[in-house]
Amino acid sequence: MFGDQQGQSLLLYLNDIIVFSSSVTQYLQRLETVLGRLRNQGLKAKLEKCAFFQRKKVNYLGHVISSKGVSTDPAKIEAVAKWQRPRQVSHLCSFLGFASYYRRFVEGFAKLASPLHKLVADFADEVQKWVGTSFWCDMDTSV
């Protein structure tokens, strides 16, 4: 629906759309095009979820986009700072996934995260050892 405009006049991810331009007139034209295409497809935009004429900065997909470029949303930085230490591998995987989303903003991220990825991999290796045992096979068929 917006393939011809993606990256040229808008950014689109799932149901999040940012329309950008270099002038008010151009913005209004592009916005009219976007809303027209949504209408033609039977889609609607909730007015309370829309923010128009965001000149200084806009939050988008966990990032802050401004004239200075793209940065991490301060709320996400706070979320990482307050993240409870993982007590299960699934919690560690969740943290790594969340943190990896912002890897481009963290110098040396791969080196910092490497020990945590190793923990996950080591756990997966241990699980694979158990899966091949007769205990696992007996449990698997019994359940």
Q: Is residue 82 part of a domain?
A: yes
Contact 131, 98 (CB under 8 A): no
Closest residue by Cα to residue 72 from 83, 56, 61, 84: 61
Q: pLDDT tens for residues 104-130?
A: 888 998 998 898 988 888 887 765 665
Using a cut of 0.85, tell me whether the model's pTM lies above it: no
Read off the tokens for 78.
Answer: 């706070």
For residues 39 and 84, membership in a common domain is answered with no
* Co-location of 87 and 134 in the same domain: yes
- The span from the CA of 38 to the CA of 2, in Å, is 10
Residues 138 and 79 in one domain: yes
Whole-angstrom Cα distance, residue 71 to residue 104?
10
